[in-house]
């Protein structure tokens, strides 16, 4: 299954992507994590030290020239099948067991044109690599998108199996979520779920475009206590509850495998709605 995570900045989409990847790996699945956000924080959220973060692919001018070319003649269909293994790095799995899967991170980066001229070559390589991961790989692929609707506007993830739209319980966050939902459906991404993060109570407003399938994740004291000192969102005291939310999310998207073989947490977790 291929899943994209989208939402307004600061709502917790990177956190949710990191939780989902760790859950899947502990369940025994192999996962490619694609950091396509300018914040480049998915690795740190998953326990990687800043010094160990790989250079974003968008900055690899050597690879861009090699695979795409430069100037008036560029290849829009470059060979990229070897790049995931060449550029991906392994991440630690929370409480890894013998039957755990692998988590591998690819940092894509984002290309901007401000003062930099045309970015056609870098964008072509990024899009080709992402398409290869989504269309040609049998592993789970989780894509942490740029905040807002930028990647959806470019059609970058139009072939994923599911779209997780993350929002805080605020009008601004939910309006952005509704816009993402609308744009996603225009791209054919009808399998959507709204993850309402830091939820306490109350009903979400009936905004056109919001997914009808919703999971609600309450504030987590363990995360609040840690976040000023540690960028990792894993191995929290609430791991068992988080696992239940992730199992519910995956089930809602159509992944019916369930929490068998789950390591690093309780195998007795039950999905919640």
Residue 92 within a domain: yes
Output the six-digit token pair for 126.
């990024």
The full DSSP string for 184-216 is HHHTT---EEEEEET--SSPPP--TT--S-EEE
Residue 175 within a domain: yes
The answer to whether the beta carbons of residues 144 and 35 sit under 8 Å apart is yes
249 by DSSP, 3-state: which? helix
Residue 138 within a domain: yes
Stronger pLDDT, 116 or 22, i.e. the higher one = 22
pTM score of the predicted model: 0.88
Over residues 185-203, mean pLDDT: 91
Residue 264 within a domain: no
Q: CATH number of the domain at 124, please.
A: 3.40.50.300
Average pLDDT over the chain reads: 84
pLDDT tens digits along 224-243: 999 888 999 999 999 999 99
Percent of the chain with pLDDT over 90: 50
Residue 19 within a domain: yes
Over residues 84-92, mean pLDDT: 90
pLDDT tens digits along 126-137: 888 888 888 888
Stronger pLDDT, 180 or 271, i.e. the higher one = 180
Asked if the model's pLDDT at residue 252 lies above 90, the reply is: yes
Q: Which long-range contacts (CB under 8 A, 24 or more apart) does 179-182 make?
A: 179/149, 179/209, 180/6, 180/7, 180/148, 180/149, 180/152, 180/209, 181/209, 181/210, 181/211, 182/208, 182/209
Phi, psi of 45 (to 5 degrees): -60, -25
Q: Which residues contact 20 (CB under 8 A, 6 or more apart)?
A: 3, 5, 142, 246, 249, 250
Residue 86 within a domain: yes
pLDDT tens digits along 15-64: 999 999 999 999 999 999 999 887 788 999 999 988 898 888 888 888 88
* pLDDT at site 205: 83
Structural domain including 49 reads 2-253
C-alpha to C-alpha distance for 194 and 196, rounded to whole angstroms: 6
* pLDDT at site 147: 78
Asked if the model's pLDDT at residue 71 lies above 50, the reply is: yes
Residue 272 within a domain: no
Structural domains in the chain (count): 1
Residue 263 within a domain: no
* pLDDT at site 72: 66
Stronger pLDDT, 76 or 103, i.e. the higher one = 103
pLDDT tens digits along 209-227: 999 999 999 999 999 999 8
Task: List, in sequence order, every beta strand (DSSP E) within the chain.
Answer: 2-7, 31-35, 89-91, 103-107, 140-144, 162-167, 192-197, 214-217
Stronger pLDDT, 269 or 189, i.e. the higher one = 189
Q: Which residues contact 103 (CB under 8 A, 6 or more apart)?
A: 21, 22, 25, 31, 33, 46, 90, 91, 92, 93
């Amino acid at each position: 299954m291929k899943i994209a995570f989208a939402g307004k900045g600061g709502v917790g989409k990177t956190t949710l992507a990191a939780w989902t990847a760790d859950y899947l790996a502990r369940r025994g699945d192999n996962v490619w994590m694609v950091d396509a956000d300018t914040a480049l924080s998915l690795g740190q959220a998953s326990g990687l030290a800043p010094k160990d973060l790989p250079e974003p692919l968008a900055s690899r001018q050597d690879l861009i020239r090699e695979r795409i070319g430069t100037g008036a003649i560029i290849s829009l269909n470059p060979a990229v099948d070897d790049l995931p293994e060449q550029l991906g790095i392994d991440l630690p799995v929370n409480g890894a067991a013998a039957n755990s899967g692998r988590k591998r991170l690819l940092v894509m980066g984002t290309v901007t044109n401000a003062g930099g001229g045309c970015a056609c070559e870098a964008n072509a390589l990024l899009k080709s690599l992402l398409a290869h991961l989504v269309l040609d790989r049998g592993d789970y692929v989780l894509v942490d998108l740029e905040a807002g609707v930028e990647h959806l506007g470019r059609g970058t993830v139009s072939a994923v199996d599911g779209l997780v739209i993350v929002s805080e319980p605020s009008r601004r966050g939910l309006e952005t979520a509704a816009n993402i939902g609308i744009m996603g459906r225009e791209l054919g991404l009808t399998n959507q779920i709204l993850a309402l993060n830091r939820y306490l109570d109350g009903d979400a407003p009936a905004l056109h475009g919001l997914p009808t399938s919703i999971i609600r994740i309450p504030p987590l004291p363990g995360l609040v206590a840690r976040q000023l000192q540690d960028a990792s969102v894993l191995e929290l005291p609430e791991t068992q509850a988080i696992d239940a939310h992730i199992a519910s999310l995956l089930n809602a998207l159509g992944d019916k495998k369930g929490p068998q073989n789950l390591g690093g947490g309780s195998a007795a977790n039950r999905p919640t709605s």
